[in-house]
Structure 1
Amino acid sequence: MRIELDCVAPPIWRRFSVPSNVELDQLHSIVQAVMGWGDQHAHQWVSVHHSTSNGPDRYIAREVIERDGYQEDEFGEDEVRIDEAVTGVGDYVRYEYNVRARWSHTLFLEQIVEDQPMSAPSCLGGARACPPEDSGGPVGYREFLNAQASTGLFDPERFVLTVSNAAVTTSVALHRSPPVGSSLFEKFLRRLSVHSAPKLFAAVAKAELSGGYDNYFETMCEGATRQLLWLLNSARGGGIVLTASGSLPPDLGASARDELDWDSEWTDAAGGSDSQLAVLVEVAKTLRLVRKLRGTLILTRLGASVLAYEGELWRHIVMTMPLGKGELAQEAGRILFLTLAAGLSESERSEVMIEGLTALGWSTTDGTLLGDDDWMWMVRGPLLYLRMIGAIVSNPLDQHVSADPEWGRRFARMVLSK
């Protein structure tokens, strides 16, 4: 197939192959990927070969149908295959994106290859860059090009086949295993595009967010709650009396080593900010499970409540993650959980964190590029928690190889599915 953007000269076009049984909802994702759009606006297909008395048939997205219902000339794009929309060489169908901006594309069927195994969608060639997402349609795009001609910030002649194919591969994987519909993470993901954050979307494809939890459920629950339950039970009754300096008592460190199998190097300095105990208390306070009152660490009403009902702590943790107040903390936290769900290594995690936050428009206060210290500060709460429970584990031998346990990946997947 060949797709060309209408009313734009010189032409912006792509040539690509797709299996004949691809439905139009998946073809929409492939078109977005090969062209370079960000899937930020509504779309529809318009047939030139099929029509009713009201005019040409239109194939529309399922969410539009569920919201507005069908019209006489409308059909669900997930119910129509490409070989039903175009049946012979030379046939074509129109793809309209962002109707207000009047971006219209024409898709021509150029060749049918028969008697061969189905191959994955692939971009075969093309020319020129996709216009910026909100450049205002063909007329606005011409004005945009004239206005920025001297800046060199946008190259209208740029087209990289490998980049387009990487986007197609990710698009196909996401169609096979998409984020859970109507989840907060799905809404978050709509703010980005494959082309603005390719590594992040590749991680989404690896994360298999629609997958199950099978035999890992009990392991996830124990891993996520064991240390917190120990602290909450230790604070039952009258609470934990702190030292004069406000630190946890030394005998609590010995108890933690015995009952939680902690490394002594992390628990000996019980009152120090780097100790495992201090991290545990900080996490519990962030989760609103404990607080300090007159030199004593006591349970909050929520802390007492989660101890009273089996499974309540687990549910509270899942629903509260990612920890952190404000848009920045929440967005950074979701990307962190994505890197865990995808099984990324430490170096890959850093790349995806920086890419994703930059694509969302976050930067340092002085406008410089984000670094490791920046994103780690943004996700300090959830990162402390995930390291504390052993869901994120440093690999001292090779930072390019993940050492995170499988139950941690499943836990992150569950957090992202809510």
Structure 2
Amino acid sequence: MRIEIDCITPPIWRRFSVPSNIELDQLHSIVQAVMGWGDQHAHQWVSVHHSTDNGPDRYIAPEVIERDGYQEDEFGEDEVRIDEAVTAVGEYVRYEYNARARWSHTLVLEQIVEDQPISEPSCFDGERACPPEDSGGPIGYREFLNGQASNGLFDPERFVPAESDAAVTIAVALHKSPPVGSSLFEKFLRSLSVHSAPKLFAAVAEAELRGGYDNYFEVMREGATRQLLWLLNSARGRGIALTASGALPSDHVAAARGELDWDSDGIDVTAGSDPQLAVLVEVAKTLKFVRKLRGTLILTRLGASVLAYEGELWRHIVSAMPLGKGELGQEAGRILFLTLAAGLSEFERSEVMIEGLTALGWSTTDGTRLGDDDWTWMVRDTLVYLRMIGAIVSNPLDEHVSADPEWGRRFARMVLSK
């Protein structure tokens, strides 16, 4: 098949192959990938060879049908295969994207391969870069190019077949295992495109976001709540009287070491110094379960309420994730949970965090490229919690091999599905 953007000179086009039995909703994802669009606007297909009394048939997205209902000339794009929309070499359909900007594409069937059936879509040819997402349609794009002539920030001639083909591979994988519909993470992904964050979308394809939890539920719940449950129970009633330095007393340090199976390295029971316990208190304060009052660590109303009902602590933790404040903390936290769900190594996690945050427009205060220290600071609250419960574990032998437990991956999937 060959697709070309209408009303653009020189032409912007791609040539790609697809199995004949795919529905138009999957072809939509492939077109977005081969062209380089970000799937941020509505779309529809218009048939040239099929029509009703009202005009050409239109094939539209299921969510549009669910919202507005059918018109007489409309059909669900998930109900029509590409070999039903175009049946012979030379036939074509129009793909319309972003009605306000009037981006229209002509998609032509150039060849039918019968002796070697195509199993997976691929892109292998094309010319020129896709216009920026909101450059204003064909007329606006010409004005955009005139304005870009002096600074060279956008190269209209750039097209790398391997990049488009990789984007198609990711689009196919996401179609087979997409995020949970209407989840916050699905909405988050809509603010990105495969071409702006290919490693992030490759991680989405690996994350199996609709995977089951049954065999891991109890392990997940215990892992996520055990340490916090110990602290909250310890602070019941009158709370925990702190030392003059603001630390927990030595009997609580000793109890934590025994009951939570913590490593004793670095713990001075007499002095009451324990970095692990300090982190636990910090996390509990971030979750607003405890606070300090006149030298005593006490439960907040929320802390008392999550203890009062079975399972409430677990439900609150899942709903509270990610822990970061503001848009930056939430976006960084979702990417972090994605890296955990996908089973990425420390090295891969850093790559995806930097790529994703950069694609979202975040940068350092001086405008330089984000580094490890930057993203870990951006996602600090969530990262501290996940490290504390052992869902994210450093591999001291090889940063390219993940040491995170399977229950941590399942926990991340659950968080991303809400």
Provide Cα deviations, 1:333-381, integer angstroms capped at 9, x if missing partner: 1111111011111111111111111111111112121111111111111
Q: Which residue pairs with 2:333 in the alignment?
A: 333
Q: Which residue pairs with 2:324 in the alignment?
A: 324
Whole-angstrom CA distance in 2 between matches of 1:141 and 1:29: 23
Provide Cα deviations, 1:65-121, integer angstroms capped at 9, x if missing partner: 111111110111111110110011111000001111111100111111114344111
- Contact 1:15–1:124 under 8 Å retained in 2: yes
Instruction: Please show how residues 61-100 of structure 1 align to structure 2 within 5 Å.
Output: 61-100=61-100
Indicate whether 1:380 and 2:414 are aligned: no
Provide Cα deviations, 1:184-210, integer angstroms capped at 9, x if missing partner: 111111100001111111111111112
Instruction: Please show how residues 17-416 of structure 1 align to structure 2 within 5 Å.
Output: 17-268=17-268, 275-416=275-416
Whole-angstrom CA distance in 2 between matches of 1:413 and 1:162: 30
Counterpart of 1:367, as a letter, is G
Q: CA deviation at 1:142?
A: 1.1
SS at match of 2:254: helix
Counterpart of 1:113, as a letter, is V
Structure 1 residues 14 and 233, CA, compared in 2 at 3 Å: closer, same or farther? same
SS at match of 2:51: strand
Query: Structure 1 residues 395-404 or 229-238, which shifts more?
Result: 229-238
Whole-angstrom CA distance in 2 between matches of 1:261 and 1:340: 24
Q: CA deviation at 1:267?
A: 3.9
Q: CA deviation at 1:214?
A: 2.5
How many pairs align? 417
Provide Cα deviations, 1:148-207, integer angstroms capped at 9, x if missing partner: 112221111111011001100110111111111111111111100001111111111111
TM-score, scaled relative to structure 1: 0.98
Structure 1 residues 95 and 87, CA, compared in 2 at 3 Å: closer, same or farther? same
Percent identity over the alignment is 87
- Contact 1:266–1:276 under 8 Å retained in 2: no
Counterpart of 1:108, as a letter, is V
Whole-angstrom CA distance in 1 between matches of 2:251 and 2:377: 31
Structure 1 residues 319 and 267, CA, compared in 2 at 3 Å: closer, same or farther? farther
Whole-angstrom CA distance in 2 between matches of 1:93 and 1:276: 62
Instruction: Give ranges in structure 1 of 5+ residues lacking alignment.
Output: none
Whole-angstrom CA distance in 1 between matches of 2:367 and 2:380: 21
Counterpart of 1:206, as a letter, is E
- Contact 2:19–2:117 under 8 Å retained in 1: no
Whole-angstrom CA distance in 2 between matches of 1:185 and 1:297: 35
TM-score, scaled relative to structure 2: 0.98
Whole-angstrom CA distance in 2 between matches of 1:156 and 1:291: 56
Counterpart of 1:153, as a letter, is L
SS at match of 2:187: helix
Whole-angstrom CA distance in 1 between matches of 2:266 and 2:182: 41
SS at match of 1:173: helix
Q: CA deviation at 1:251?
A: 2.2
Whole-angstrom CA distance in 2 between matches of 1:409 and 1:247: 33
Structure 1 residues 152 and 76, CA, compared in 2 at 3 Å: closer, same or farther? same
Counterpart of 2:364, as a letter, is T
Q: CA deviation at 1:268?
A: 3.4
Whole-angstrom CA distance in 1 between matches of 2:323 and 2:152: 41
Counterpart of 1:66, as a letter, is E
- Contact 2:241–2:297 under 8 Å retained in 1: yes
Whole-angstrom CA distance in 1 between matches of 2:213 and 2:267: 33
Whole-angstrom CA distance in 2 between matches of 1:168 and 1:292: 53
Moved over 4 A (4+): 269-272
Q: CA deviation at 1:309?
A: 1.1
Whole-angstrom CA distance in 2 between matches of 1:392 and 1:267: 22
Structure 1 residues 268 and 121, CA, compared in 2 at 3 Å: closer, same or farther? farther
- Contact 1:336–1:349 under 8 Å retained in 2: yes
- Contact 1:256–1:267 under 8 Å retained in 2: no
Whole-angstrom CA distance in 2 between matches of 1:71 and 1:233: 60
Whole-angstrom CA distance in 1 between matches of 2:312 and 2:116: 55
SS at match of 1:51: strand
SS at match of 2:265: helix
- Contact 2:290–2:300 under 8 Å retained in 1: yes
SS at match of 2:366: coil
Q: CA deviation at 1:266?
A: 5.0
